[in-house]
Amino acid sequence: MKIIIDGRECSARRGEYLLDVARREGVYIPTLCHLDALPGQSCCRMCIVEVKEGGRSKTVASCVYPVKDGIEVITNSDKIQRIRKTLVKLLYASSPQGKHMEDLLERYGPLPESRFEADEGEKCMLCGLCVRACEKLGAGAISIINRGTAKEVAPPFKEPPEACIGCGSCAHVCPSGAIEMKEEGGIRTIWDKDFELLQCTCCGRYIMTPEQYEHLKAKDPESEVVLLCEVCKRKKSADGFRDAFQNITFKNIAHP
């Protein structure tokens, strides 16, 4: 099917979302709570765009809006810019210390006086990515608790979570840097809980916790969990490909 994005005709497939098509076509749409591995959050609303269909115009979140044949999409109109600036004000009020604010303030300029009172020192923007990542992994060690202005991400009873395996997935996906994770002397600390770290069997680099190793083994007992860092995995794969290629070449030379 064909859709129009900012005056340009683009090809789209049924079932795709507007954000996916725009990114494939090189059209910039800002996002905070969206990851390809964890789609469908639609929390930050920074990805809003205008959609014109059947003579009517509406504002939608592009990360969850499925494409339709013939629609026209405007990603950066004056209306959309005004809404995004208001969203930035709200985000700043809720999480002024988050690292996501650096890029937003650089892109949208210094914020004017706002009626929204900033929650000084707060980093978390409550996007929920960390909770989704933990749930997808299967640990379920953290969740969003309370309501209204008291809402926050925390483990049960705000104590070091028993279910946490120390994988750090929550910290890695957090766009605001609100989840602190430290590694020192072979010890990883996250959610006020210390974990020993296993080392890469090739280079000795610290890679994962024993709890994470056992969790991965339990999820797929038939597969082997290899204790290799990403660098050594790539090197081993490259070496294996080179050896296989050399063997094939040798056989072709030996038996033309």
- Token duo for residue 12: 């789209």
Please check whether residue 141 lies inside any domain of the structure.
yes
Specify the pLDDT at position 250.
Answer: 46
Q: How far is CA 84 from CA 23, 60, 221, 224, in A?
A: 19, 12, 47, 47
CATH of the domain at 18: 3.10.20.740
Question: For the segment 143-170, what is each residue's pLDDT rounded down to a tens digit?
Answer: 999 998 899 999 999 999 999 999 999 9
Amino acid at 11: S
- At 241, is the pLDDT very low, low, confident or very high (cuts 50, 70, 90)? low
Q: Label each residue of the chain as H, E or C.
A: CEEEECCEEEECCCCCEHHHHHHHCCCCCCCCCCECCECCCCCCCCCEEEEEECCEEEEEECCCCECCCCCEEECCCHHHHHHHHHHHHHHHHHCCCCCHHHHHHHHHCCCCCCCCCCCCCCCCCCCCHHHHHHHHHCCCCCEEECCHHHCEEECHHHCCCCCCCCCCHHHHHCCCCCCCEEEECCEEEECCEEEECEECCCCCCEEECHHHHHHHHHHCCCCCCCCCCHHHHHHHHHHHHHHHHHHHHHHHHHCC
- Residue 187, pLDDT > 80, answer yes
Please check whether residue 114 lies inside any domain of the structure.
no
Q: Which of 81-85, 101-105, 200-204, 231-235 has the lowest mean pLDDT?
A: 101-105
CB atoms within 10 A of CB 204: 10
Question: For the segment 29-44, what is each residue's pLDDT rounded down to a tens digit?
Answer: 999 999 999 998 899 9
Specify the pLDDT at position 6.
Answer: 97
Please check whether residue 8 lies inside any domain of the structure.
yes
Distance separating alpha carbons of residues 88 and 160, to the nearest angstrom: 33
**Same domain for 94 and 151?**
no
Please check whether residue 49 lies inside any domain of the structure.
yes
pLDDT > 70: what percent of the chain?
A: 91
- Token duo for residue 49: 């765009």
Q: Give the domain extent around 166.
A: 129-230
Q: How many domains does the chain have?
A: 2
**Same domain for 157 and 77?**
no
Specify the pLDDT at position 114.
Answer: 65
**Same domain for 134 and 218?**
yes
Specify the pLDDT at position 110.
Answer: 72
Q: Contact, 178 vs 154, CB < 8 A? A: no
**Same domain for 75 and 41?**
yes
- Residue 251, pLDDT > 60, answer no
Please check whether residue 246 lies inside any domain of the structure.
no
Distance separating alpha carbons of residues 197 and 200, to the nearest angstrom: 10
pTM of the model: 0.84
Please check whether residue 255 lies inside any domain of the structure.
no
Amino acid at 233: K
Please check whether residue 256 lies inside any domain of the structure.
no
Please check whether residue 65 lies inside any domain of the structure.
yes
| Partners of residue 187 on adjacent β-strands | 184, 196
Q: Which of 108, 143, 163 is the last residue of a domain?
A: 108
Specify the pLDDT at position 247.
Answer: 57
Specify the pLDDT at position 255.
Answer: 47
Q: How many residues does the chain have?
A: 256
Q: Which of 48-57, 103-112, 206-215, 245-254 has the lowest mean pLDDT?
A: 245-254
